[in-house]
Amino acid sequence: MSTPQIEFVVLVDDQDHEVGTAEKLDAHRSGTLHRAFSIFVLNRRGQVLMQRRASAKYHSPGLWSNTCCGHPRPGEATIVAASRRLREEMGLHCALRHVGQFVYRAELDGGLIEHELDHVFVGTFEGEPVANPIEVGEWKWVDRHDLDRALADSPTAFTAWLRPALNQVAR
């Protein structure tokens, strides 16, 4: 049986300057600011590919979120990390463009804290993803208007970063 690989994140200041690295779980326990990314994949109709996080995820399990999210590894460019995670989580590839970034802090269940400088990317894709069941419980294409309404009506059904990340995506 193999030992799980320890993942590291890049610690940053509020201007996205690297200040060190930390184990991912330690950064989420301490609330240390670190670099992250959120990806929104859209189809030609402008629908957003949403995923429900797998129930085995260590934080925010079972919550609906954007297409894909994650953290660059130390020494890995954020755009390269975003493309890598999109393949790993959703089994798809598309060109991504950076549309903005924001800093947020959210206290999660289990004493974990998300404190991230989140880079937001958008891409387009037609078809069906091949989601990794370890990462994704289910997925669906959602009209932006319906997503906005669902966020207003049932905010606790969604991840803490979804709304501020979505605000970076032009309508």
Tokens 């990462």, residue? Answer: 135
Please say whether the beta carbons of 43 and 128 come within 8 A: no
Q: What letter would DSSP give residue 30?
A: H
Q: Which of 18, 68, 69, 138 is catalytic?
A: 69
Give the helix/strand (H/E) hosting 163: helix 162-166
Kindly give the pairing relationship between strand 64-65 and strand 68-70. Answer: unpaired
Instruction: Respond yes or no: is residue 116 known to be catalytic.
Output: yes
Q: Which of 68, 89, 114, 116 is catalytic?
A: 116
Residue 28 vs residues 7, 9, 49, 80, 107: alpha-carbon distances, Å: 12, 10, 26, 22, 9
Q: How far apart are CA 11 and CA 120, in angstroms?
A: 17
Q: Which of the residues are catalytic?
A: 69, 116
